[in-house]
Amino acid sequence: MRYKLKILTRDKTHTYILKDIPMYEWDNVLGFDVERDELISKLNDLQTLKEITKLMISRGFLDEFYEILNKERRYSELYKYAFPTILFSVQYSLFETVEGFKQPGLVYIESFQDQNGDYIKYDYIDGRWRYDFLISSRKSLDLNQEDSSKLDLDSLVQEGVNE
| Residue 130 CB neighbours (<10 A) | 13
Per-residue pLDDT tens over the stretch 2-13: 999 999 999 999
CB 122 within 8 A of CB 111: yes
Mean pLDDT for 91-111 is: 94
How are strands ordered across the β-sheet holding 13-19? 13-19, 2-8, 107-113, 119-121
Per-residue pLDDT tens over the stretch 83-93: 999 999 999 99
Q: How confident is the model at residue 143 (pLDDT cuts 50, 70, 90)?
A: low
User: What angle (nearest 5°) sits at the alpha carbon of residue 92, between those of residues 142 and 81?
Assistant: 20
Rounded CA separation 55/48 (Å)? 11
Dihedral (C-alpha) 114, 82, 10, 74: value to the nearest 10 degrees? -170
Q: Is pLDDT larger for residue 122 or for residue 37?
A: 122
φ, ψ for residue 54, nearest 5 deg: -60, -40
Mean pLDDT for 38-58 is: 93
**Cβ neighbours of residue 83 closer than 8 Å, sequence gap 6 or more:** 107
Q: How confident is the model at residue 147 (pLDDT cuts 50, 70, 90)?
A: low
User: 16 lies in which domain range?
Assistant: 2-161
Structural element, H or E, at residue 113? strand 107-113
Number of domains in the chain: 1
Mean pLDDT for 50-76 is: 97
